[in-house]
Amino acid sequence: MSNIISGKELSKTIRQEVKEEVAKLKEKFNKVPHLVVIIIGEDPASLSYVKAKERACLRAGMKSTLMRKEESITEEELLNLIHELNNDDDVHGILVQLPVPGHIDDNKVINAIKQEKDVDGFHPLNVASVHLGTPGILPATPKGIMTMLKSTNTEIKGKNALVIGRSNIVGKPVAMLLLKEHATVTIAHSRTQNMKELALQADILVAAVGRPNMVTADMVKEGAIVIDVGVNRVDDKLVGDVDFEAVKEKASFITPVPGGVGPMTIASLLQNTIECFLMIEDK
Ligand code: GUN
């Protein structure tokens, strides 16, 4: 029987800390962190994510601007907008919600955002920091995952960690962060042949594949910590990558979906927005 790591509760604590920090920044600098979120098109899931980000910013006392752009925006127009925001002293964080439409090169968009305003931690210089283990903005989801792991007070050093998924946003960076904490890290993916064998050795298992219930109880080592990054819609219900009900009987700690990694991603984004503010204002 496992303990449930509630991202909902942990993120509340972080958002309260952020709120207090924002109040102090307002005193000291006479301004508050300002996040600009750009969303292109009408995808309902993306819209609901960005609205949640905006709401969290406002609740923490930050300034937030949501810029909604039509699907027809050209790459040049988007890059020009980013350039203007890069040069706007009133803006501390810029986030372009991904995915962008096919006619826009997402790498060009990510590269265009000034490193100090890259609240997503997607800029190549921030990616390099994760790999080198040097200071930089961490991508929000991996940062939230590490905060959840640390909240269990379990030592990561020397443990076997299996990350299932190799995306640039989650799988690769979370593997690097676990490595920095001295875990023995394996990255598995859709072509991995001995998934169950690897999973059964994992003391820490991070599932970030986007396949409903792919991690079943027979794959999980007794007492493992299981972090479920999956956000899958099945019959209008949100389900993770982990068969929660069965796996929770074996894991020592497990994150639920919803109410697990999702809220932590938003809390980490707020922390990143403060970091960007300080890089810009506290020189
Ligand atoms: N799309 C899905 N997750 C993310 C994220 O963390 N940041 C951005 N910009 N887009 C996303």
Tell which residue, 101, 95, 164, 99, has the closest CA to residue 126: 95
pLDDT of residue 2: 77
pLDDT in tens, 83-104: 999 999 999 999 999 999 999 9
pLDDT in tens, 225-246: 999 999 999 999 999 999 999 9
Higher pLDDT, 45 or 161: 161
Q: Please tell me whether residue 25 adopts helix, strand or coil conformation.
A: helix
Q: Which one of 97, 117, 143, 243 is the catalytic residue?
A: 97
State the pLDDT confidence band at 1, using cuts at 50, 70 and 90.
Answer: low
CB 138 within 8 A of CB 169: no
pLDDT in tens, 113-150: 999 999 999 999 999 999 999 999 999 999 999 999 99
> Is any ligand 1 atom within 6 A of the Cβ of residue 97?
yes
CB 255 within 8 A of CB 206: no
In order of their start, the domains of the chain are 29-114 (3.40.50.10860), 140-262 (3.40.50.720)
Average pLDDT of the chain, as a whole number: 97
Burial of 87 (0-12, 13-18, 19+ CB in 10 A): exposed
pLDDT over 70 percentage in the chain: 100
Q: Which one of 118, 120, 203, 228 is the catalytic residue?
A: 120
Taking the C-alpha atoms of residue 156 and residue 208, their distance in angstroms, rounded to an integer, is 19
pTM of the entire predicted model: 0.97
Q: Which one of 53, 143, 172, 221 is the catalytic residue?
A: 53
Distance 233 CA to ligand 1 centre (A): 17
Tokens of 268: 């980490």
DSSP 191-240: T-S-HHHHHHT-SEEEE-S--TT-B-GGGS-TT-EEEE---EEETTEEE-
Distance 139 CA to ligand 1 centre (A): 9
Distance 186 CA to ligand 1 centre (A): 24
pLDDT of residue 99: 95
Positive/negative CA dihedral, 98, 46, 53, 258:
negative
